[in-house]
Structure 1
Amino acid sequence: MFLSSDDFAHVLNCAPLVSIDLVVRDGDARVLVGRRLNRPARGFWFVPGGRIYKEERLDDAFLRISQAELGRTLAREEADLLGVYEHFYDDNALDVPGVNTHYVVIAYQLHLEAASLALPGDQHGQFQWMDVDQIRTSATVHPNTKAYF
C-alpha cells in the first residue's frame, strides 16, 4: 500500500517505520555502503535498505528491497539475521519541519560479490566497499550504520 505525501507525513509524525537493512559483505569481508541522496541521513555513507509496506510480508519485502537496492532479487533465507535496531533522525524524507523519523530496523547480512550486483543510483549517489575499521572510524559513515559493527 502506498501513501500520499500527507498520509506519510502523518505516519512519520505519529509512528515508527519498519525497515530492512542489508549488510552486504564481499569475499574480503568488506561492506557495501552508498552515499545517501535522500533524507534522512543525506550525504552519509549507509548500508542499503528500505521500508516495509503495510500488508507486505517480510519475505516479499526482502525480495523487493534487495532488487531495488542491489539490482538482484534475493530471498530472506539467503541472509543471516543480525538483529533488530532502532534508528532516530532529526529530519524526515519529506523535509516536513519539526517532524523527526523513527525506524525499527531488521538488519540482515549477506555475502555477495560485487560483480553479482547491479547497483541502482536512485537512493545512493555512489557506492563503495569499506572494511569494518574504515566504517568504525569514518566521520562520513552514519552512526546507525556503525551500530552494525
Structure 2
Amino acid sequence: MLVGKDFFFVVRHAPLVSIDLLVTDAHGRVLLGRRRNRPAQGVWFVPGGRIRKDEGLDAAFRRIVADELGVAGARRGDAVPRGVFEHHYADNFAGEPGVTTHYVVLAYAWTLPGGEPDGKPPGQPDQHSAYCWMAPAELLARDDVHEYTKAYFR
C-alpha cells in the first residue's frame, strides 16, 4: 500500500479510483460518516475507499465493506451499481497547497443485512469522528452533507 511521498506523488499526478457505499438500513435511511481527514474534512459523507493496485473489484468491495462497516463477506453482486462519478477537490490529504485530488468513483447501493447495527455503526475511527443514519430527503436538505454525497440521491 502506498504511503507518504509515494502516495502524494500519485495524488499529484493521477486520479484515484474508489468505491463509495450507498448503505441503507431496513428503514431506507442512509449511513453517513463525518470525515476527519482531507479532502471533505468535517462534513458528512458516505463510507467508501480507494481500490488498491492489482485488487479486483470484488475483492475491493469486500475489503471496503469490512473496513468501513465491520461486515465480513459482502458480495459486490448483492449491491446495485449506481454509476460512475468524478469528485474533484481543491485540496489533498497532506494539506499541501496547489495540489488537487481527483477521484473516479464507482457508486454501489447496498442494504445492510439485518438492518442497523447495534449501537454506533462499526467503522474506521481514524476516518470518521461520528456516524449517523439520515433519510435521503434529510441529507439533501442539510448544509453539512457534502455535495458529492447529495449527488447520489438526486
Same fold per TM (> 0.5)? yes
Report the equivalent of 1:109: 109
Report the equivalent of 1:119: 123
Deviation per CA, 1:77-123: give whole Å up to 9, x if none: 12111110000111111222211100000000111111275334221
Query: SS of the counterpart of 1:61?
Result: helix
Q: TM-score, normalised by structure 2?
A: 0.92
Report the equivalent of 2:34: 35
Within 5 A, what are the aligned runs for 1:1-149?
2-73=1-72, 74-112=74-112, 113-115=115-117, 118-149=122-153
1:9–1:96 contact (8 Å) kept in structure 2: no
1:84–1:106 contact (8 Å) kept in structure 2: yes
- What root-mean-square deviation, in Å, do the aligned CA atoms of Structure 1 and Structure 2 show? 1.2
Q: Which amino acid aligns with 1:90?
A: A
Q: TM-score, normalised by structure 1?
A: 0.95
Which segments of structure 1 move beyond 3 Å, counting only runs of 4 or more? Answer: none
CA distance in 1: counterparts of 2:9 and 2:21, whole angstroms: 27
Report the alpha carbon displacement of residue 27 of structure 1 after superposing the two structures with TM.
1.2
Structure 1: tracts of 5 or more residues without a match: none
1:80–1:109 contact (8 Å) kept in structure 2: yes
Query: SS of the counterpart of 1:87?
Result: strand
State how many pairs are aligned.
Answer: 148
2:26–2:116 contact (8 Å) kept in structure 1: no
Report the alpha carbon displacement of residue 5 of structure 1 after superposing the two structures with TM.
1.2
Structure 2: tracts of 5 or more residues without a match: none
